[in-house]
């Protein structure tokens, strides 16, 4: 499926302000970027680098006054998200080295406090994919998905005390529960073509059966047509923008995803 994604941010900064951004999806094993743009208005110098998770990050200082960041991309994304109900738990000593960072607790996924709860939730599951499914079902039963209802970033422990949640909270809870079972789990921020109202989306991936699988507690039937912008341990790693210094108001943000008839020519 060919998709055209776009995301724009508008600021009005009283003083020059340093930003770290993560707004350039990269071509990898799962998606191919055929066209892409990243326009800063006014144009300011920007430096790009790769973080420890492989995300393309941009470093810049906004000018004083109005500042707009507009990105868009034509991307070939997988039509379906793979599922493999019999994918098995991988013992820690057989995990690939680069999955290990996703075993540890992180800012918003206090997996060290979820051990008992994770065991209960997955009591009757075959170790692996089945445990992840049980976790997703638990989240769906205990939290009502309420798109756009939350602005402040809350942790898995906090989310677990609530009744409503945004996609990010549900992903945090899923990640914390997986890690509590020694299943590596990571957060993904990106685009989902079918999301309504359209917005950026967050879901998670868990490592079972020798690869990463997509899980999305906001959906009862897991859909494809996803574009990953950034991977990380939790929301602290994958903010599409982080602004330093005096807090700055995001005046406007728009996100869009359109199907394209085919590859660009």
Residues lying near its own copies in the complex (CB under 8 A): 18, 20, 24, 26-29, 32-41, 43, 45-52, 54, 56-61, 74, 76, 91-93, 97, 100-101, 103-107, 110, 112, 153, 182, 236-237, 242, 244-245, 262-265
Cβ proximity to its own copies: between 24 and 201 the closer is 24
- Reduced to 3 states (helix: H, G, I; strand: E, B; else coil), residue 75 is strand
Cβ proximity to its own copies: between 69 and 167 the closer is 69
Least distance (Å) from its own copies to the CB of residue 29? Answer: 5
Closest Cα to residue 262, out of 97, 28, 81, 34? 34
Q: How many angstroms separate the CA atoms of 135 and 180, rounded?
A: 11
Least distance (Å) from its own copies to the CB of residue 245? Answer: 7
Least distance (Å) from its own copies to the CB of residue 146? Answer: 22
Least distance (Å) from its own copies to the CB of residue 222? Answer: 22
Least distance (Å) from its own copies to the CB of residue 154? Answer: 11
- Reduced to 3 states (helix: H, G, I; strand: E, B; else coil), residue 231 is strand
Question: Which DSSP state fits 63?
Answer: P
Place of tokens 């995300």: 55
Strands 164-165 and 144-145: parallel
Cβ proximity to its own copies: between 45 and 197 the closer is 45
Assess whether the previous peptide bond of 42 is cis (omega < 30° from 0). yes
Cβ proximity to its own copies: between 94 and 196 the closer is 94
- The first and second tokens of residue 57, run together, are 């990050």
Cβ proximity to its own copies: between 197 and 247 the closer is 247
Residues 172, 104, 238: CA angle, nearest 5 degrees: 45
Cβ proximity to its own copies: between 66 and 85 the closer is 66
Residue 200 · residue 217 · CB < 8 Å: no
Least distance (Å) from its own copies to the CB of residue 196? Answer: 28
Q: Hey, how many other C-beta atoms are within 10 angstroms of the C-beta on 44?
A: 13
């Amino acid at each position: 499926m060919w998709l055209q994604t776009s995301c724009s941010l508008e600021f009005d900064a009283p003083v020059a302000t340093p930003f770290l951004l993560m707004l350039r999806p990269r071509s990898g094993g799962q998606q191919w970027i055929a066209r892409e743009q990243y326009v800063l208005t006014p144009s300011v110098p920007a430096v790009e680098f790769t973080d420890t998770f492989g995300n393309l990050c941009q470093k810049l200082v906004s000018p004083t006054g109005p500042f707009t960041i507009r990105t868009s991309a034509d991307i070939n994304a997988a039509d379906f998200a793979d599922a493999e109900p019999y994918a098995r738990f991988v013992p820690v000593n057989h995990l690939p080295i680069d999955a290990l960072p996703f075993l540890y607790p992180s800012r918003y996924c206090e997996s060290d406090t979820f051990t008992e709860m994770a065991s209960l939730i997955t009591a009757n599951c075959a170790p692996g994919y089945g445990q992840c499914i049980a976790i997703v079902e638990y989240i769906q039963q205990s939290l009502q998905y309420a798109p756009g209802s939350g602005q402040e970033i809350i942790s898995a422990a906090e989310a677990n005390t609530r009744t409503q949640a945004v996609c990010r909270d549900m992903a945090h809870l899923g990640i914390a529960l997986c890690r509590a079972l020694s299943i590596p789990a990571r957060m993904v921020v990106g685009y989902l073509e079918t999301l309504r109202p359209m917005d950026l989306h967050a879901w998670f991936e868990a490592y079972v059966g020798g690869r990463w699988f997509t899980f999305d507690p906001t959906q009862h039937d897991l859909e494809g047509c996803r574009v990953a912008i950034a991977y990380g341990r939790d929301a602290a790693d994958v903010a599409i923008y982080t602004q330093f210094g005096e807090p700055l108001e995001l005046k406007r943000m728009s996100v869009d995803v359109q199907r394209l008839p085919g590859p660009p020519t």
